[in-house]
């Protein structure tokens, strides 16, 4: 993976496979302790305590095409390289929360990448899911809730090109506004 | 900054468009598991969506699937016709994605050199 937005896309696929229909994605930077957090919370079918323990092992996977799963182990490695960690909380039938933390200014931290492209891919992947995207950094906040978008759109699908373009543009603008000047890769 | 109110105008226009549209039943499926994403599936998917939008084609659904099982050939794009016929394109990039939109989806000419059959035959020769 070249950047964090690609990891995000990859990890959310697990939530989709777990049949989640509400997925909260929160990206926040804490400049007091120089950490960057990405949290994904879903209401999918969750995992047993044993599965949670095993899931960071690349030789454990739910996939049937082969017996190696790399998504979570790769992300965990990237977190730890930067002085951060990966925390997994899950309960069967309730859902899963994954929190990945990174050293904000660690030389090994990958750039955030383009979250808006990931969001567009997620809408196309699962148009029925109600996502909620939240950005937070210092005194700036952004929240976009698919439930609000659906109320506005009535029966127009989110995959409509103009709707997708609006969501993508909105997220891109906010990523720049919220994290510009704080993350090294985004100029303020 | 964008506001939710802007969606009102988008909704009105989309409703008019939707009423005039017949569903073509064709779809484009992009492999979006860890292997696909790491190989560049996201920009391929976005390029297809963008190219279709630019050309005002809105009766083709672009969606994703998990790992198809031939990770070494990712990014993989499948074009599925209304009758179920399927063409599998492999080792895609953004330029190839745009080519598939124009040549295959619009003009109906399969990009033979990008299909899994052609790429595998070429690999065996080399």
Digit-coded pLDDT (tens) for B23-39: 778 999 999 998 999 99
B61 in A contact zone (CB under 8 Å): yes
Beta strands in chain B (DSSP E): 26-31, 60-65, 77-80, 86-89
Residue A187 lies in a domain: no
Closest CA to B111 of B66, B82, B77: B77
pLDDT digits (tens, 9 = 90+) for B39-57: 999 999 999 999 999 998 8
- Rounded Cα distance, A62 and A60, in Å: 7
Q: Quickly tell me which residue has 């759109």 as its tokens.
A: A153
Domain of residue A124: give its range.
4-179
A181: which residues sit within 8 A by CB, 6+ positions away? A187, A188
- Rounded Cα distance, B47 and B53, in Å: 10
Residue B121 lies in a domain: yes
Q: Are A160 and B63 within 8 A, CB to CB?
A: no
For position A169, which CATH number holds?
3.30.565.10
- Rounded Cα distance, B89 and A142, in Å: 38
Number of structural domains (chain B) is 1
Residue B12 lies in a domain: no
Q: Are B7 and A166 within 8 A, CB to CB?
A: yes
Predicted model pTM:
0.91
Number of structural domains (chain A) is 1
For position B77, which CATH number holds?
3.40.30.10
> What is the structure's pLDDT at A63?
54
A19 in B contact zone (CB under 8 Å): no
Say whether the peptide bond before residue A45 is cis (omega within 30 degrees of 0): no
Residue B58 lies in a domain: yes
Model-level ipTM above the cut of 0.85: yes
Q: E strand or H helix at A150, and its extent?
A: helix A146-153
Residue A57 lies in a domain: yes
Torsional sign, CA B71, A7, A171, A113: negative
Give Cα A79 distance to the centre of its chain.
Answer: 14
Residue A34 lies in a domain: yes
A83 CB burial (10 A radius; 0-12, 13-18, 19+): middle
Q: E strand or H helix at A100, and its extent?
A: strand A95-103
- Rounded to a whole number of angstroms, the distance from the CA of A165 to the nearest CA of chain B is 9
- Rounded Cα distance, B102 and B92, in Å: 15
* Average pLDDT value over all residues in chain B: 92
Give residue A61's pLDDT band: very low, low, confident or very high (50, 70, 90). Answer: low
Residue A20 C-beta-side C-alpha neighbours within 13 Å? 30
What is the average pLDDT across B86-92? 97
Backbone angles phi, psi at A91, to 5 degrees: -140, 130
Which chain B residue has its CA at the smallest distance from A159's CA? B61
pLDDT digits (tens, 9 = 90+) for A111-151: 999 999 999 999 999 999 999 999 999 999 999 999 999 99
Helix (H, G, I), strand (E, B) or coil at A30: strand
Residue B35 lies in a domain: yes
B123 in A contact zone (CB under 8 Å): no
Residue A118 lies in a domain: yes
Identify all chain A residues contacting B61, using CB atoms and an 8 Å cutoff.
159
Q: Are B37 and A120 within 8 A, CB to CB?
A: no
> What is the structure's pLDDT at A67?
45
Give residue A96's pLDDT band: very low, low, confident or very high (50, 70, 90). Answer: very high
Domain of residue B65: give its range.
24-125
What is the average pLDDT across A183-187? 90
Dump the DSSP string for A44-84.
S----HHHHHHTTSTT--S-SS-S---HHHHHHHHHHHTT-
Residue A10 lies in a domain: yes
pLDDT digits (tens, 9 = 90+) for A24-51: 999 999 999 999 999 999 999 999 888 8
Residue B8 lies in a domain: no
Residue A188 lies in a domain: no
Residue A100 lies in a domain: yes
Question: For chain A, percent helix, then strand, then coil, each to nearest 5?
Answer: 35, 25, 40
> What is the structure's pLDDT at A57?
72
Residue A101 lies in a domain: yes
């Amino acid at each position: 993976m070249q950047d964090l937005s690609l990891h995000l896309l990859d990890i959310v696929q697990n939530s989709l496979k777990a049949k989640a229909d509400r997925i909260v994605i929160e990206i926040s930077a804490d400049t007091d302790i120089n950490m960057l957090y990405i949290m994904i919370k879903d209401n999918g079918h969750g995992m047993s305590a044993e599965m949670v323990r095993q899931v960071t092992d690349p030789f454990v996977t739910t996939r049937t095409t082969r017996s190696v799963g790399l998504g979570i182990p790769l992300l965990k490695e990237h977190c730890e390289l930067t002085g951060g960690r990966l925390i997994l909380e899950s309960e069967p039938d309730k859902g899963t929360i994954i929190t990945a933390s990174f050293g904000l200014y660690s030389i090994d931290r990958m750039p955030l990448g383009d979250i808006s492209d990931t969001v567009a891919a997620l809408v196309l992947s699962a148009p029925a899911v109600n996502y909620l995207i939240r950005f937070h950094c210092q005194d700036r906040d952004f929240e976009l809730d698919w439930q609000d978008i659906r109320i506005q759109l009535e029966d127009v699908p989110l995959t409509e090109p103009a709707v997708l373009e609006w969501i993508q543009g909105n997220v891109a603008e906010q990523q720049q506004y919220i994290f510009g000047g704080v993350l090294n890769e985004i100029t303020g | 900054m964008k506001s939710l109110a802007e969606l009102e105008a988008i909704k009105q226009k989309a409703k008019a468009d939707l009423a005039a549209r017949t569903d073509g039943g064709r779809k484009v499926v992009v492999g979006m598991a860890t292997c696909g994403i790491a190989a560049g599936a996201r920009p391929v998917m976005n390029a297809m969506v963008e190219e279709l939008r630019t050309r005002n084609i809105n009766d083709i659904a672009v969606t994703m699937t998990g790992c198809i099982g031939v990770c070494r050939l990712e990014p993989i794009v499948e074009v599925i016709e209304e009758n179920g016929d399927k063409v599998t394109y492999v080792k895609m990039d953004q330029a190839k994605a745009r080519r598939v939109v124009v040549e295959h989806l619009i003009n109906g000419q399969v990009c033979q050199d990008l299909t899994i059959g052609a790429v595998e035959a070429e690999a065996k020769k080399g």
